[in-house]
Each structure stands twice: as structure tokens, then as C-alpha cells.
């Protein structure tokens, strides 16, 4: 080999070695440690996911009061004579009429007659006091809604001399037995009113069917019966409210029997079923019911009689009043 070619050959060998080393991939370094595991477990949710549905928001204000009618409306109230004769209706009704511009036509009769008016579609709303009859009225679908309103009690009245000797007795049926035994004059409403219904229940408990000259079935209102009983110095059964109202006018009869739990006298208000005919104003009856069971009106009922008699003639009993 020529000496001139030797250096060239050496250079070619060196270049070949360098090219070979560049073409061989450099090994990747092994990891120096095992990958580190997470030091804490994933956090579990602390509460169940909230459902997207929203709870309805309760109204924060009471429903708006109904506004008075632009034109005067007419409503028929059939009620017992005790609410009229005691003066209660004159005390509370003007507020209702002024509040809603409603003229209330009051038909004051016995409870039985008042319910007949409702059953026949001749009244819009009833205010009565014969619970068993009221329940029957509702069960027969004559009424649409019934609410408790108030209560008082019945009392047995008689002359101050008390010829039958029943004063101070605490069981009404026993007092009635003695009236029958002594044939002491007794004046009955005899009109299927709430008072008459209570009287008949007491006679039934006493196992007596009253008859004879001593027993008078008058067919009169409570006020008229009180006047007649006073004139004849007889005995009768009355609601306390009407008795006190007439006592304040000079009635001389006295309470001789009171306090028996059977003499409890609750009053209810009933809206007549509008199916009785298009003449039934259920809208007005509903307004009346909501009004008379409201706390302000119940308070007014509770105050009636306090000024003149030193006691309430009626005790409020609506659900709203009891839950106030």
C-alpha cells in the first residue's frame, strides 16, 4: 500500500467507527425506585347528592282579604231564635254586612225549621244548635260544610217559690221526673227547635212521655215561651243566653237546675249544598263561615254579655279559636 493512501484509509476507518456509535440507540435508564402509591385514600362524599328538584316555598304572607262587592249582595241566614232573641245577631252581623257589602236576611225559627229551609233550598247558610240533626243533615248531603262556632248551656227555669222542689238538683232527668210526679206546670217550645229537641231527649232519659193539663206544647219562640212561663209561674227549659237577655228586661224566672253535662248546647254553622239550585249563594255562605269562625269575630262573640251580665252569653269554639 502506498504511503500516500495510508492516512486517507485511517481517516475512513475512524469515520466508520463514529457513524456506527451514533446509529446504536442509547439504552434508557432503569427507574431507580418503585412508583410511590398515593398516601391517602380518595375522600368519600360526606352527604348524599342534593336532588335538583326544589321544595315549594311556603307563602310568607296570609291570603289577601276578600274585597267588598261593588254592588250589594243578598244572603239568607236561617237560624234558631236563640241567636236572635239573645241579641247576638244584632251585635255581630252589622260588621259582616259592612265588611263585604252583603245584606243578610235573617229567618229566625226553630232549628228543625231552619234545617228544612236549607234542605228545600230556601236558605244559603244555617246557624243552628242540634248536633245530631246537623250531622244527619250533612250525611244526607244537604250541607256542604259544617264548622263549630260557639256553645253555651241549657238551664231549667222556674218560679222563685219552686213548688216542685227541684231547685239545686244536678241531674236534669231527675228534675223532669219530679215535675211529672208533681204535675207542675211546664211550658214546652213544641216546635222541633234545638231547645225542644234537647227537652225531648231529657224526657226520654227520664223514661217519661209528658202529657196532661200540666204540660203545654206551645209552638212558640224561646222569648215567647219565657214570657208565658213567667206569667203562669211555670217551669221550662231555655238556653242560658236568651234567659239572661230576658232577665235583663225584667223576667222573674230563676235558674233552678243547671250544670248537668247533658245540658251542653253547641252551635254550628252550615253552608247549604249549592246543588239545591242556582239560587244558593255558596260564595256568600263561604264568606260568612270564614268570617264567623275567624279569631277576631270569635273574640267579639266571647265579649257579648260581659258588659250587661258580667259573663259571656256564648263561648267561642271554632277550630281557629282553639288553636290560636
Summarised one tens digit per residue, pLDDT across range 114-149 is: 999 999 999 999 999 999 999 999 999 999 999 999
How many of the other CB atoms lie within 10 Å of CB of 214?
15
Cα distances (angstroms) measured from residue 258 to each of 37, 168, 249, 261: 91, 8, 21, 9
Cell digits for 42? 380518595
pLDDT digits (tens, 9 = 90+) for 263-276: 999 999 999 999 99
Kindly report the average pLDDT of the chain as a whole number.
Answer: 86
Is residue 285 included in any domain, yes or no?
yes
Domain that holds residue 165: 153-263
Q: Last residue of a domain, which of 214, 240, 263?
A: 263
**Whole-number pLDDT of residue 230:** 98
Rounded mean pLDDT, 304-317 = 94
Question: Residue 178: phi, psi to the nearest 5?
Answer: -70, -35
Shared domain check, 239 and 116: no
pTM: 0.77
Shared domain check, 87 and 139: yes
Is residue 25 included in any domain, yes or no?
no
**Whole-number pLDDT of residue 132:** 94
Is residue 77 included in any domain, yes or no?
yes
pLDDT at 206 over 80: yes
Shared domain check, 272 and 139: yes
CA angle, residues 302, 112, 150, in degrees to nearest 5: 15
Q: Yes or no: say if 239 and 222 are a contact pair by the CB < 8 Å rule.
A: yes
Shared domain check, 220 and 161: yes
Is residue 112 included in any domain, yes or no?
yes
**Whole-number pLDDT of residue 63:** 58
Is residue 48 included in any domain, yes or no?
no
Shared domain check, 201 and 175: yes
Range of weakest confidence among 41-45, 72-76, 94-98, 157-161 = 41-45
CATH code at 132?
Answer: 3.40.190.10
Q: Last residue of a domain, which of 263, 285, 307?
A: 263
Q: Among positive and negative, which fits the CA dihedral 225, 228, 230, 232?
A: negative
Q: Last residue of a domain, which of 239, 263, 287?
A: 263
pLDDT digits (tens, 9 = 90+) for 225-266: 999 999 999 999 999 999 999 999 999 999 999 999 999 999
In whole angstroms, give the CA distance from residue 108 to residue 82. 8
**String of DSSP letters for 33-90:** SPPPPPSSPPPPPSSPPPPSPPPPPPPSSPPPPPPPPSS-EEEEEEEEHHHHHTSHHH
Cell digits for 89? 245577631
Shared domain check, 272 and 258: no
Shared domain check, 161 and 246: yes
- What total of structural domains would you count in the chain? 2
In whole angstroms, give the CA distance from residue 315 to residue 83. 13
Q: In terms of Cα–Cα distance, which of 66, 118, 126 is closest to 294?
A: 66
Shared domain check, 307 and 227: no
pLDDT at 4 over 90: no
Shared domain check, 160 and 145: no
Shared domain check, 259 and 279: no
Query: pLDDT grade, residue 156 (50/70/90)?
Result: very high
Shared domain check, 159 and 259: yes
Is residue 7 included in any domain, yes or no?
no
How many of the other CB atoms lie within 10 Å of CB of 65?
8
Shared domain check, 166 and 313: no
Amino acid at each position: 500500500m502506498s504511503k500516500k493512501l495510508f492516512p486517507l484509509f485511517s481517516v475512513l476507518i475512524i469515520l466508520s467507527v463514529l457513524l456506527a456509535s451514533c446509529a446504536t440507540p442509547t439504552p434508557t435508564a432503569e427507574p431507580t425506585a418503585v412508583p410511590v402509591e398515593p398516601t391517602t385514600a380518595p375522600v368519600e362524599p360526606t352527604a348524599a347528592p342534593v336532588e335538583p328538584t326544589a321544595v315549594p316555598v311556603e307563602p310568607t304572607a296570609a291570603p289577601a282579604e276578600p274585597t267588598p262587592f261593588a254592588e250589594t249582595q243578598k244572603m239568607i241566614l236561617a237560624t234558631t231564635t236563640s241567636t236572635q232573641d239573645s241579641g247576638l245577631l244584632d251585635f255581630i252581623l252589622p260588621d259582616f254586612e259592612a265588611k263585604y257589602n252583603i245584606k243578610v236576611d235573617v229567618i229566625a225559627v226553630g232549628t228543625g225549621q231552619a234545617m228544612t229551609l236549607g234542605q228545600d233550598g230556601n236558605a244559603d247558610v244555617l246557624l243552628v244548635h242540634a248536633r245530631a240533626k246537623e250531622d244527619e243533615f250533612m250525611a244526607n248531603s244537604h250541607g256542604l260544610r259544617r264548622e263549630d262556632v260557639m256553645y253555651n248551656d241549657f238551664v231549667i227555669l222556674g218560679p222563685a217559690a219552686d213548688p216542685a222542689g227541684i231547685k239545686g238538683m244536678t241531674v236534669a232527668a231527675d228534675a223532669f221526673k219530679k215535675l211529672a210526679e208533681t204535675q207542675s206546670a211546664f211550658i214546652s217550645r213544641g216546635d222541633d227547635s234545638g231547645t225542644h229537641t234537647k227537652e225531648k231527649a231529657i224526657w226520654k232519659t227520664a223514661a217519661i212521655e209528658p202529657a196532661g193539663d200540666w204540660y203545654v206544647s206551645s209552638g212558640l219562640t224561646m222569648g215567647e215561651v219565657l214570657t208565658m212561663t213567667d206569667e203562669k209561674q211555670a217551669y221550662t227549659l231555655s238556653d242560658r243566653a236568651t234567659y239572661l237577655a230576658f232577665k235583663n228586661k225584667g223576667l222573674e224566672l230563676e235558674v233552678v237546675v243547671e250544670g248537668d253535662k247533658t245540658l251542653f248546647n253547641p252551635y254550628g254553622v252550615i253552608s247549604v249544598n249549592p246543588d239545591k239550585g242556582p239560587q244558593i249563594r255558596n260564595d256568600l255562605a263561604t264568606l260568612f263561615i270564614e268570617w264567623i269562625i275567624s279569631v277576631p269575630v270569635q273574640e267579639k262573640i266571647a265579649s257579648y254579655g260581659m258588659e250587661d251580665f258580667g259573663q259571656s252569653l256564648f263561648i267561642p269554639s271554632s277550630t281557629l279559636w282553639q288553636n290560636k
